[in-house]
Amino acid sequence: MKRTTAVAVAVTLLGGLAVATPVTAAAADSAPIGFAAVNALGQNGTTGGEGGPEVTVSTAADLIAAIKATGPRVVRVQGMITVPAGMHDVTSDKTIVGVGAASGITGGGLNVGLPVSETTTPPADAVHNVIIRNLVFRNATDDSINVQMFSHHVWIDHNDLSRGYDGLIDIKRGSSYVTVSWNHVHDHAKNMLLGHSDSNGAQDTGHLKVSYHHNFFNKTSQRNPRTRFGNPVHIFNNYFLNNSDTGPACQAQSGCWIEGNYFDNVEEPMTNSYSGPKGNIVERNNVFVNSGKPVVGGTVTDPRTYYQYALDSPADVKALVTQGAGTGKI
Side-chain half-sphere exposure of 319, counting CA atoms within 13 A: 18
Angstrom distances, CA of residue 281 to CA of 45, 68, 96, 261:
27, 38, 33, 14
CA pair distance 166, 169, nearest whole angstrom: 9
Evaluated on CA atoms 186, 188, 193, 198, the torsion sign reads positive
**CA dihedral sign of residues 310, 161, 254, 207:** negative
R_g of the chain computed on alpha carbons: 19
* Residues 6 or more apart in contact with residue 199 via CB below 8 angstroms: none
CA quadruple 72, 99, 320, 214: dihedral, nearest 10: -40
Report residue 94: phi and psi, to 5°.
-125, 140
Cβ-based burial of 15 (10 A; exposed 0-12, middle 13-18, buried ≥19): exposed
Q: Of 24, 23, 33, which Cα lies nearest the Cα of 2?
A: 33
Question: Considering 223, 226, 284, 304, which one is annotated as catalytic?
Answer: 223
Q: Is 223 a catalytic residue?
A: yes
Residue 254's nearest CA partner among 294, 217, 297 is 297
Coarse DSSP helix, strand, coil percentages of the chain, rounded to the nearest 5 percent: 10, 45, 50
Residues involved in catalysis: 223
